[in-house]
Amino acid sequence: MTSTPPNFTVWAEIPVTDMDCAIVFYNKVFDIDMKTDDSGPNPMAVFPAADPAAAAGHLYPGKPAPAGSGPTVHFACPGTLEDAMERVKDAGGQVLSDAISIPAGRFAYCLDPDGNSIGIFSN
């Protein structure tokens, strides 16, 4: 028997070496306001979700995989993909690809300042 949960991916955890720097990067690139949470076993900065009860993912102090070798987490970006690509560079990250078209929209591969692989997506 197989099951299909309503949301197969529950959340993503992204390890960062400098929490404050990472928060600034993600806030700038995605035009969000990450909130810090010290209620669990590790401090974290939480990605926002429209539903306050939803788990969207977070940053936590940890050791990232070598640059570009870990899993890629894709995020919806506000505005145009090209504007988001510029924000990645301006915030200290790297854009690794040109815009890639897929049926759902367009995305680009990037690295955050810690070398975590991220995708920025726009439809």
In a domain, 2, yes or no: no
pLDDT in tens, 45-82: 999 988 877 778 999 999 999 988 899 999 999 999 99
The model carries a pTM of: 0.90
Sheet with 58-61, edge to edge strand ranges:
13-16, 58-61, 44-46, 35-37
Tell me, what's the pLDDT at 52?
Answer: 75
Query: How many domains are there within the chain?
Result: 1
Tell me, what's the pLDDT at 1?
Answer: 67
Tokens of 52: 């306050």
Q: What is the helix (H) or strand (E) element at residue 82, kind and residue range?
A: helix 81-90
Q: Tell me: pLDDT of 9 over 90.
A: no
Does the CA dihedral 75-31-28-97 come out positive or negative?
positive
In a domain, 43, yes or no: yes
In a domain, 34, yes or no: yes
Q: Which domain holds residue 66?
A: 13-122
